[in-house]
Structure 1
């Protein structure tokens, strides 16, 4: 809504200043070229338009199409099944999740697919092992989300390199959070630190069933509400 409102207001201002409808659509497509007489100001105000972002947009479209083909043909499920055969422990399951996210980020070149595809592939496996969904969510975020900016042909890496004017491999060695997050979450998986089971997760039915044996329904709801409030404050 904010972007659409900006376009509408910009078009109105252009008409108010004597422009025409053709000029509005030309600015939307090709951007604008400022001529204030100051080089720095012109560099800040010039640019924009769909044409300037078409390379990134086309990359996103190709990545989503390719990811859809991989999912609909069952290729990713086959790969996941092979990897899960090696994942005997919780740590190895987390490691497989991390590696899958990295693989999709490199192969499919899109952050969304690096989260959605492994999430769908491993959701049932985490549930079958009695692990809370937040464990899968953390593994996806710590690997699929943050590492997408480190891949030059990924939509995130391409966008950041375009905006910053710095090559992806140039800033990658200094992106410590992006580099360390997958390692830390894998260590958590093998050590069991902060790994939560279904019975320990207040949002899960298993936890509610277990707590019903110890608390009244009202006490249970109060406990869950207090826990969620503390979690939001911590975030």
Structure 2
């Protein structure tokens, strides 16, 4: 980084670190192709007898973070049917909760996300997780899915109140799940707002002008 003309980072936390080594740092968050990540054509109405579908997408390395959801989902399952869909990693066993593991594939990624009532990104608060870039959330939000996420790092920047909820404790996670499970119309409003937010701030189209400017700055600095 010290030898670079420009440093690009995925979030403000990484930018703060990079600023120790460079005076020219640009934040360019993880983005998705919003022509590919699309909302489902029909929004499910949902009712109390229908399982509330909580969805997570990731990898085996991040799947252990799902342990943070065991207690709140177990409590929620005492109140209503709950389905946890885990894409791309091993799922925890949760008493009373139907759990489905799905392998990740490029072809099925979007259709699986579109089945979620809410997308989740639980994280412990560590230096490593504060460097993560909220990509799971951005994928779900681009598909018009509201999200609940740990109040850690880039999650805070990626999830304004109109698009989803942030949680720290098991009680806060449970409260967020209860609120969204009980109100399909709120989920739809948040999902619509989330889609718009991603198009504006976390899409290929929104990132391209920033990336072009960074490359031009770098070329100009090299020429001089």
Q: TM-score, normalised by structure 2?
A: 0.28
| Higher relative contact order (Cα pairs below 8 Å, separated by 6+ residues) | 2
Q: TM-score, normalised by structure 1?
A: 0.27
More strand by percentage: 2
